[in-house]
Structures are given as C-alpha cells and as structure tokens.
Amino acid sequence: MKCHIRASNGGRLGLAFGLLCWLSACAAVGPDYAPPATPTPAAWNTPLQSGLQDGAAADPDLATWWQVFDDPVLTALVEKAAAANLDAAQARFRVREARARRGLREAELYPAADGSGAASRGHSGGRETRLYSIGFDAGWEIDIFGGVRRDIEAAEGDLAAAEAGLADVMVSLAAEMGRNYMEARTLQRRLQVARANMQVQVETYNLTRSRYAAGLGDALDVHRAFSNLEATRSQIPSLEDSLAATFNRLAVLAGETPGVLDGLLTEVRPLPVVPPAVTVAIPAATLSRRPDVRQAERRLAAQTARIGVAEADLYPRLRLAGSFGLSAANTNDLADWASRAWSLGPSLSWPIFDAGAIRRNIQVQTAVQEQALAAYEAAVLGALEDVENALSAYVQEQVRCVHLAEAVGAAEEAEILARRKYEAGLSDFSDVLDAQRSLLNYQDQLAAGRGAVVANLIALYKALGGGWALAPAAGA
C-alpha cells in the first residue's frame, strides 16, 4: 500500500519542492562501491626459466602475440576470426545491448512528455454531441534519494562488464585459433614422420623378402617386417582424420564453413620457433590485464549499485506532473483561448505497507552482491592458477623436448646399426624391429612435444591476458 499526496498550488509546497530538488543532488542511498582488496602474491610461485623473464608490466608483444611467430598464415587466420567469428559477434551485440540499456536508465533522469488528440461523437438526450481535444501531458520524477542514479551506475557496470566480456572472447578466440593452427602444423609434421618411417620399413620389408628368397632368412622375418610396416601405415589415417578435423575447426573459428580454408592450410609449413625471451609481468599487473577478472569486478560494481536501487524503494517518490490542452465541440473553436484547460503540481507517494517485500528485495540484492564478490575472488584465483600452470607447462615441455631430441638421435643411430648388422648376418631381425619401433615412437613424441611447446606458449599468452589488440576500445 502506498500513500499518495497531491498538491496544485505553491507557497509552502513550493518551498518543500525546492528542498526536495536540493536533496536529489545529495548522495544516493545504498552502499558506495569500492573495489575489493584482494591479496596478490608479489611474484609467481613457478621459477622463471627457459626464456621466461620477470617484468613489472605486461610485455608489449602480448597485445598481438601471434605476430611474434612471424607466420603470415597464422596472422591472417587470427585477423579473419576477429572480424567474422560468431561468438565474437554475439559479444559485440551484448555490448550494444548494454549500451542501449544504459541509455534507457539515463532517460529516467529527464522529464517525459506525451502529445494527444481525440475526437468523439455520441448522443445525449436525443441530441448529437461532438467533442474535439488536443493537448500534451508532461511528468518528471525527481530522483530525491538516488534510486535512478544507482540504476544508471548499475547499467554502467553492466556495460563495462560486457566490454570486458568482449575482450575476453577476443583473447580466448586468438588463443584458440593459435592452438588449433599449431595442432594442424604438428599433425602435418607427425604425418611426415610416419611416412618417412613407413618408407624405411618398406625397404626393410623388401630386404627380408630378398634374404628369404636367397635362403638367408626365414618366413618369420618377412611376416614380422610386414606387420611392423602395416602397424605404421595404420597410424596415418588417424592422423589425417585429426588433421581434417583441425582444418574444419579453424574454418569455423574464422566464421567459414568447413573446407573453405583447406587451400590456405594444406601447404605444409614448419612449426614456428618460440621467441628466445618472454616477459612475464608480476601477478598484480597480470590481474589488471585479464579481461575475465575485469568483467567479474564490474559485475560486482553493478550489483552493489542495485542494492541502492532496492533501498530507494523505502523512501518517498516525488513526481511533478502537468498537462495542457484545448477542447471544444467543433474544430473551429479549438483555436479559442477559452477552450484551454491545464493543470500543474507535484505528487508524492510513499510505501506504507508491503508485507516486507521491499526489505526482502534488499536482502535478495545483497545476497546477489555477495555471490558476485565470491565470483570475483574465484576469477582472481583462477587467473593466478592459469598462469602458474601455463608457466610450468611451457618450461617442462621444453625440458622434455631436449631429452626427446637426445632419444631420437640415439634411436636413429641404433636403427642404422641394427639394419647393418642384420644385413651382414650378425644379429637377429628382432633388433631391427625394436630399433624401428623405438625410432618412430621417439620421433612422433618429439614432433608432438615441439608442437606442445608452442601451444603452451600460446596458453601462457592467453593466461597473461594477451591478445587485447583484437578488442575494440571501451566506448567504441
């Protein structure tokens, strides 16, 4: 239930109205937002090595990290995805929606006016009656306690969160495009390894057949060589299937139908070389750069303002309303000043009884704000975890690849020696099989590992918030 008070003339009412207008410029109800103080470590827990180095601020290369690899195909794919990806388009539309909603809230600060016109015809007491009228009505709700201002503040928080969400989509999109591109190049390299090993195994198979035909070997060697060859051949369809799926994923990320980009990707290119040095900003600088953390913080700010919107319902609402119009029995008399009618005056409404609904709504908005605070703290912890994991993965995969390269070198020598000894009749064919299987395994692991090093670097760039150059500036 609300109590309504209306008045149409001045004196004390005018003084009260002036006082209420002055009050409307005062502080708004509800809590004022202050960014939460989140404890942040001074340095990363993972030791920085393998080209990683400390930095107080973000590395300038982070903004367009894909250019570090000096691969024109990757750069073209990232730029195409930024322009045509459908997830990015949805994020841009969310920003547009949030900007329009902020405009709606701002409009509530200003007066509103409506024009009207009517013509009616009827019968009364056996006589025909006609009435024509034109006029307009105007109204203005004075934001005494700041409910509208808090609503605008919440809308501005929503807009900033949507802009940060767009930046987060762009950061993730660049990383996803880079990761899949590196996966495609890695699969191409693994196919080269499999085919090269298959060719060696074809030669070994032919050798066993020749030795068997010459009475220098037995049928068991021939069958074992053929089995080894076919096992290697069986890996190729699986790798080609994965490569086709990766090509399709890259096309969809770029906003194209599967197959459209195959011509751009089919040419085999080597994996790019990782830069010799990568600057890793301190945790505080990284958190300020991460768009998902900014988005969570802006959502918290918006929800804090909504507590004030809810609290404003506890207080009176003042509305200034007026109307002016002309009415007459025929259209010619509408121009007569005597046909005028007008009214002007403030009205006041104040909730008296609502069974606690307003206070319950304040509790609801406060609980939602507490959820937003927890979500922000979770985003901070998640960001720190992302970076720590990416740092460790990047470093350890490089160490692993060093050992795999040594293993490949030794396996190549072992395979050559095993074949020579077999050809000379100095060893059993099982030594050749073991050597060839080990060589294929280590070469495949090394190819995959080198791809993982680049992919892990991309994951690190993403964890550090890199790729923001793709996102439009706030307000754009």
How much is the pLDDT for 81?
Answer: 94
Q: How many CB atoms lie within 10 A of CB 337?
A: 6
- Lowest mean per-residue pLDDT among 7-11, 302-306, 409-413: 7-11
* Assigned token pair, 252: 């969809």
pLDDT tens-digit map of 193-227: 999 999 999 999 998 999 888 888 889 989 999 99
Domain-by-domain residue ranges, the chain? 29-108+145-314+357-470, 112-142+316-349
Q: Read off the pLDDT band of 4 (50, 70, 90).
A: very low
What's the rounded Cα separation, in Å, for the pair 4 and 33?
33
pLDDT tens-digit map of 370-423: 999 999 999 999 999 999 999 999 999 999 999 999 999 999 999 999 989 988
Q: How many CB atoms lie within 10 A of CB 120?
A: 9
How much is the pLDDT for 121?
Answer: 78
Q: Are 168 and 155 in contact (CB under 8 A)?
A: no
What's the rounded Cα separation, in Å, for the pair 278 and 59?
8
Of the candidates 304, 262, 320, 299, which has an alpha carbon nearest to the alpha carbon of residue 111?
320
Amino acid at 86: L
How much is the pLDDT for 104?
Answer: 86
How much is the pLDDT for 14?
Answer: 54
Annotation: CATH topology of 29-108+145-314+357-470: Outer membrane efflux proteins (OEP) (1.20.1600)
Decide if pLDDT at 427 tops 70.
Answer: yes
- CATH ID of 112-142+316-349, from 3.30.70.2190, 3.10.180.10, 3.40.50.300, 2.20.200.10: 2.20.200.10
Per-residue burial over 26-65, b = 16 or more CB atoms within 10 Å of its CB, e = otherwise: eebbbeebeeeeeeeeeebebebebebeeeeebbebbbbb
Q: How many CB atoms lie within 10 A of CB 346?
A: 20
Helix axes 86-107, 147-213, angle to 10 degrees: 180
What's the rounded Cα separation, in Å, for the pair 465 and 294?
11
Mean per-residue pLDDT over the chain, rounded: 87
* Assigned token pair, 46: 């993972």
pLDDT tens-digit map of 319-331: 888 887 777 667 6
Decide if pLDDT at 440 tops 70.
Answer: yes
